[in-house]
Amino acid sequence: MENFKIKHEKENPLFSRKEIIVEIKGQTNPKRIDVENSLAERFSSNPDSVKADRIISRFGSDIFTIHARIYKSKEDKDNIEPKIKAAKAKT
C-alpha cells in the first residue's frame, strides 16, 4: 500500500484493543483484507486479530481514511465484534 500514515491511535484497555485511524493514498479503493494484513504487519500483530471497520473516501480524491481496531488476540476479537447472521434458508 502506498503512503500509509497513522492519523490517530488510542489504547482501549477495557476491550483489550488499539483503535486507530490511518490514511492511505492509492489509485483504487483498498480491499479490507489487504488493509488488515498491512495493519497486522505494521503493528506486529496476527492478521486474525485486526478488524478494518470503515473505509472512507471522498469523491475525486485518492486518499482513503480507514478506521480499524487491533485486538490483543483473536479470541478477544471474536468475543467483542458483532457476529454476522447467516441467511435463513427458505423451506
Cell reading at 17: 484493543
How crowded is the C-beta side of 77, counted as CA atoms within 13 Å? Answer: 18
Domain chopping of the chain, boundaries: 4-79
User: 7: closest CA among 56, 76, 80?
Assistant: 56
Residues 32-61, mean pLDDT to the nearest whole number: 91
Asked whether the whole model's pTM tops 0.85, one would answer: no
The CATH number for 4-79, chosen from 3.40.1410.10, 3.40.50.10210, 3.30.470.20, 3.30.70.330, is: 3.30.70.330
Residues 25-53, mean pLDDT to the nearest whole number: 90
